[in-house]
């Protein structure tokens, strides 16, 4: 009798266990499904309707996007000048190709503004304005048709690329923090392009022979202001 009782209770327990183990995965699946639905809903909010408001970080993110948008736009005006000033065919090509890449990056930023439900608005980027100004001084101060000018232009351009790498690297991280992974992905494409541009410039300088050729260019004899004045008068 006792055995039967034990057996039956064991059977009952077994049945109960079986039922609970059969139910458990169903419950788990349901939880997973509802969790997915939540995140999907959140995602679609991010993609379509969510405006850039809510946190100070979100506000800063938008301002930083306007800054780099302005920076890229300023670059589209500077790059053709740099290409024109370059002597090395390889360097000219690097600049004109990066101009095309930059135009695509501008479109990519417009895509990001659209995803945020914001108008694409450019802000003056003081850093880029300074870097471009510096490159213009370099173009004026170095001798035309020399590899020295090319070497100097490469460094000026690399300063620009490094600024962009820092900016896009930071923006990708902020986008991730703000749960905007689709935007992070878009910005990451640009980040990789800037890194590639930087590497190409190093290659042109080093393997392309620009730096080596520049090192063989003799400096011109320095003439003093006094000598210049004398030569002007002696010409008359």
Beta strands in the chain (DSSP E): none
Residues 33-92 that bind Zn ion (CB under 5 A): 67, 71
Binding site partner of 201, from Zn ion, Fe ion, none, Cβ cut-off 5-8 A by kind: none
User: How many other CB atoms are there within 10 angstroms of residue 129's CB atom?
Assistant: 14
Tokens of 206: 């080093």
Q: How far is the CB of 163 from Fe ion (least distance, A)?
A: 8
DSSP SS3 for 152: helix
Residue nearest Zn ion (C-beta atom): 125
Residues 150-209 that bind Fe ion (CB under 5 A): 164, 194, 197
Binding site partner of 194, from Fe ion, Zn ion, none, Cβ cut-off 5-8 A by kind: Fe ion
Closer residue to Zn ion (CB): 52 or 128? 128
Closer residue to Zn ion (CB): 82 or 125? 125
If you write DSSP's letter for every residue of 72-129 in order, what string do you get?
A: HHHHHHHHHHHHHH--SHHHHHHHHHHHHHHHHHHHHHHHHHHHTT--------HHHH
For position 125 contacting Zn ion by CB under 5 A, the verdict is yes
Tokens of 71: 């920076």
For position 122 contacting Zn ion by CB under 5 A, the verdict is no
Mention every residue, 6+ apart, whose C-beta is less than 8 A from residue 97.
Answer: none
Binding site partner of 184, from Fe ion, Zn ion, none, Cβ cut-off 5-8 A by kind: none
Binder among 127, 129, 138, 155 for Zn ion (CB under 5 A): 127
Binder among 99, 120, 127, 129 for Fe ion (CB under 5 A): 127
For position 105 contacting Fe ion by CB under 5 A, the verdict is yes
Nearest 10 degrees: Cα torsion 178, 181, 183, 184: 90
Alpha-carbon span 225 to 211, nearest angstrom: 30
Q: Give the binding site for Fe ion (CB under 5 A).
A: 67, 72, 102, 105, 125, 127, 164, 194, 197
């Amino acid at each position: 009798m006792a055995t039967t009782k034990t057996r039956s209770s064991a059977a009952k327990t077994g049945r109960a266990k079986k039922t609970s183990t059969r139910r458990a995965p169903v419950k788990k699946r349901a939880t997973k499904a509802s969790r997915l639905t939540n995140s999907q809903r959140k995602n679609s909010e991010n993609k379509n309707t969510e405006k850039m408001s809510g946190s100070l970080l979100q506000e800063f993110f938008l301002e930083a996007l306007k800054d780099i948008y302005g920076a890229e736009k300023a670059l589209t005006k500077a790059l053709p000048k740099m290409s024109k000033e370059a002597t090395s065919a390889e360097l000219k090509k690097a600049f004109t190709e990066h101009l095309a890449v930059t135009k695509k990056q501008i479109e990519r930023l417009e895509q990001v503004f659209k995803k945020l439900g914001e108008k694409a608005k450019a802000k003056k980027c003081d850093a880029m304005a300074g870097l471009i100004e510096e490159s213009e001084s370099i173009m004026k101060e170095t001798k035309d048709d020399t590899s020295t000018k090319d070497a100097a232009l490469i460094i000026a351009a690399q300063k620009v690329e490094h600024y962009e790498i820092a900016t896009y690297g930071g923006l990708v991280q902020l986008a991730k923090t703000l749960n905007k992974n689709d935007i992070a992905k878009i910005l990451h494409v640009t980040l990789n392009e800037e890194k590639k541009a930087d590497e190409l410039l190093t290659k042109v300088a080093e393997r392309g022979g620009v730096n080596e050729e520049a090192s063989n260019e003799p400096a011109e004899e320095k003439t003093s202001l006094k000598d210049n004045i004398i030569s002007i008068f002696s010409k008359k």
